[in-house]
Amino acid sequence: MRKLVTGGTVVTETGMIENGYILIVDGQIVDYGHKENTQKDVDEVFELNETDIIMPGFIDIHIHGAAGHDTMDATEEALRVMAETLPKEGTTSFLATTITDTDEHITDALRNAAKFSKTDYDGAEMLGVHLEGPFISLQHAGAQPESCIIPSSIELFEKWQKAAEGLIRVVTLAPEEKNGMELVRYLGDNDVIPSIGHSHATFDEVSEAVNHGLKHATHLFNAMRPMHHREPGVVGAVFLNASLLAEIIFDRIHVTNEMVRLAYRTLGSDRMMLITDSMRGKCLREGTYDLGGQEVTINGGEARLANGTLAGSVLKMSDAVRHLSSFEESSELDVMKMASWNAAKSLGVDDRKGSIKKGKDADLVVLDSELSVKQTFCRGNKVNHDKMG
């Protein structure tokens, strides 16, 4: 099947192609360029407006749930609904993210993810699992259930990775806690990304973890030791350790515009990744929903526990992109890096994801002039058309 997406501005790794086109054959990008050079021999044409923008589909490496479902439900339906829902906000790939819970519940969720990965499903592609907790700090538990927080354990991780059939790609942990450094080293040696989060580590402890193989920082600024002029903490260490990539929840609730701008100017677009950290209440009406056995109330776009603690978000990736684009200093290429390319490179899937290039999956999002999602293509299949994001 030969499909042609034509018109609009194509955002590539090297720049912008105004009034461009993308040729898709059997789910892959086989050609792109200026519209004047468009190939005519196609089966289906998608005509766009000149003001539309075509980007690689977004990659969300930290998402718990959406549309009434959650990774921890441990059901095929939950992951299927998430996969079918996420393209509405331009997301074409994701990591199903767990929460701190009991061994039994985490194992069930991981086994389900492994089972789901072998099924035929439509929509966004599940690239693996992000294990958030339970190897974290009580001092920065956030919305993670404190009763299930435990010391790092290589043995337990190996058990979970076996249950997931190798699908765990990222682990959020506090390296300063018992056995934390050993687990960081083990993960790095076994092609799993260690990410510091829910951590009270000092600057020196983070730097030590970097030497052991630490790669990411989970939701920068949130649930971590903040910066102080006599102890730079986790935030300062992320700023100054050039090898670290930082997730950020840009909903203007978890982190203000000014703090995101500070991170953006300090880290640059090469070291930041937009995430949602969304929970099951996303795409639903305001009300009360479950997160890890805890009641979370959504009101005014904020998801909070009864004690007021932020508990995930209802953020859409398209909204995070829109917020980032409001910065005068940001470009479409910067947005593309932070919403797609950086995550793909870090996960080692940039041979087929993360940018518009010949031979890669035709994962595309079409944004209108107001940066609302107009169309999304997952592996060449158009999955929605109306403005959704």
Question: Residue ranges for the binding site for Zn(2+)?
Answer: 132, 198, 219
> How many CA atoms, within 13 angstroms, populate the side-chain half-sphere of residue 305?
14
d(CA 323, CA 344) in angstroms, rounded, equals 21
Strand partners, 63: 96
Answer yes or no: are the C-beta atoms of 79 and 96 closer than 8 Å. yes
- Tell me, what DSSP letter sits at residue 148? G
Burial bucket for residue 357 (CB in 10 Å: 0-12, 13-18, 19+): middle
Q: Which residues make Cβ contacts (< 8 Å) with residue 98, sequence separation at least 6?
A: 64, 71, 72, 106, 109, 110, 129, 130, 131, 132, 133
**Which H or E element spans position 98?**
none
d(CA 71, CA 74) in angstroms, rounded, equals 6
Q: Which of 371, 317, 273 is nearest to 57 (CA)?
A: 317
φ, ψ for residue 75, nearest 5 deg: -125, 150
Look-up of token digits 């034509």? 6
d(CA 144, CA 292) in angstroms, rounded, equals 8
Burial bucket for residue 191 (CB in 10 Å: 0-12, 13-18, 19+): exposed
Q: Which residues are annotated as a binding site for substrate?
A: 143, 222-223, 230, 254, 310-312
CB count within 10 Å of CB 65 equals: 28
φ, ψ for residue 281, nearest 5 deg: -75, -10
Q: Quickly count helices (H) and strands (E) in the chain.
A: 10, 23
d(CA 14, CA 87) in angstroms, rounded, equals 25
Strand partners, 382: 377
3-state secondary structure of 130: strand
Residues with catalytic function: 277
| Rg (alpha carbons) of the chain, rounded to whole number | 20
Strand partners, 295: 290
